[in-house]
Amino acid sequence: MKKTTIHEIAKALKIDSSTVSRALNDSDRVKAKTKKRILDKAHELGYTRNMLASNLRRNRSNTIGVIVPRISRYFFSSTIAGIEEMAYKAGYNVIICQSLEEVDRERKILRNLMANRVDGILISVSMETHDNSHLTACFENGTPLVFFDRHVAGMKQTGKVLIDDVQGGFDATEHLILQGCKKIVQFTAPMDVEIYKNRHEGYRSALKKHNVPYDENLVFVSKLLEEDGYRLAGKIVEEFDDVDGIFSTNDLAAIGAMKYLKSVGRKIPEDIAIAGFSNEPTSAVIEPSLTTVDQSGTEIGRLACNLLLDYFENGNTLVNDRTIMLPPKLIVRDSTKRK
């Protein structure tokens, strides 16, 4: 069906199109009585306002672009839910894209979002994103950018909403030490991604504080998939039989490790205590339940979106490299309770 235009409304009422346009934009220059006639006729003819046209006039799309590695990962779907909640309240649409952990795809998505004149971009970068040229192009072109969770270090002119990953890594590791673990393995993703670098730093500083020697052979780098955790736990059992604690920087790999250890009859937490990171729904359900670090995904999403909305209103706050840092929350469950 054809869409109703302003001109058709004007013709039906035998008045000027510009008057119709003013009335639909709620201008004071049209009498209340005339306005009502026009709105009634617009409704009768099934007119819907063409936001595309009015957005073009303002050279804005009333849209926020969001890029995450994977929509279906619980942490990211929670942040998206928080972003959408705030954007909806403020009258913005949210375009969601997933990089699938590929930097090339991330680049293409950014170009496309800019071509579509999104008003701002919220991004959690892929594991492959090590340089920031495609990201600087974005705000140099006038599109504000806010990182949440996974970010690239050393970029001014962007906002950031993070959890204190150093503290999170520290808390989880110190907790394992206080539960009596003497030899603690770390599972991490490549450490050119800031959050993994920071969680590792937390791990090391907890060891240092408690005079546990650091051994780089106990740090295992992978993509942190469930099968990585499963495989690495096998390696630990075969090659490092005296390991009595695992700090995994996500829950997925921790759960993989638990599945392997249970399959070979190791007791959790008695033989090996395990702590994860991110508080996925599965972590509360697995037995024993998994100690983990909560990242408040929905809250991160809300705050990141608010930072952008704040920028739309006040213009210049992001250039100060504004960072909102949320405290992590250690959730102690059965997988580490040795005392």
Check binding of 80 to a second copy (CB under 8 A). yes
Tell which residue, 243, 235, 174, 255, has the closest CA to residue 215: 243
Residues 251, 81, 105, 256, Cα dihedral to 10° = 10
Check binding of 49 to a second copy (CB under 8 A). yes
40, 104, 287, 321: which one contacts a second copy (CB under 8 A)?
287
6, 41, 78, 304: which one contacts a second copy (CB under 8 A)?
78
Check binding of 264 to a second copy (CB under 8 A). no
132, 205, 222, 282: which one contacts a second copy (CB under 8 A)?
282
**DSSP letters along 197-229, please?**
HHHHHHHHHHHHHTTPPP-GGGEEES---HHHH
Residue 248, class by beta-carbon neighbours within 10 Å (0-12 exposed, 13-18 middle, 19+ buried)? buried
19, 63, 279, 335: which one contacts a second copy (CB under 8 A)?
63
Strand partners, 275: 247, 291
Helix H or strand E segment including 309: helix 297-314
Report the site for a second copy in 188-247 (rule: CB under 8 A). Answer: none
Distance between alpha carbon 162 and the CA centroid of its chain, in Å? 9
CA distance 214 to 212: 6
Q: Which residue lies nearer to a second copy by CB, 8 or 201?
A: 8
Q: Which residue lies nearer to a second copy by CB, 46 or 180?
A: 46
Q: What are phi and psi of 75, to 5 degrees?
A: -55, -45
Residue 332, class by beta-carbon neighbours within 10 Å (0-12 exposed, 13-18 middle, 19+ buried)? middle
Minimum distance from residue 151 beta carbon to a second copy (Å): 22
Minimum distance from residue 91 beta carbon to a second copy (Å): 8
Minimum distance from residue 93 beta carbon to a second copy (Å): 5
Q: Which residue lies nearer to a second copy by CB, 87 or 212?
A: 87
56, 153, 178, 325: which one contacts a second copy (CB under 8 A)?
56
Phi-psi domain of 29 (left: phi exceeds 0; alpha: psi -120 through 50; beta: other): alpha
At 78, the amino acid letter reads S
Check binding of 298 to a second copy (CB under 8 A). yes
Cβ(248)–Cβ(277) below 8 Å: yes
The piece of 105-113, 203-211, 319-327, 331-339 that touches a second copy (CB under 8 A) is 105-113
Mask: binding to a second copy, 132-161, rule CB under 8 A, as x and -? Answer: -----x--xxx-------------------
17, 21, 34, 93: which one contacts a second copy (CB under 8 A)?
93
At 239, the amino acid letter reads E
Q: Which residue lies nearer to a second copy by CB, 32 or 53?
A: 53
Residues contributing to the site for a second copy (CB under 8 A): 1-3, 46, 48-53, 55-56, 59, 61-63, 70-74, 76-78, 80-81, 84-85, 88, 93-98, 105, 109, 111-117, 137, 140-142, 255, 280-282, 285-287, 297-298
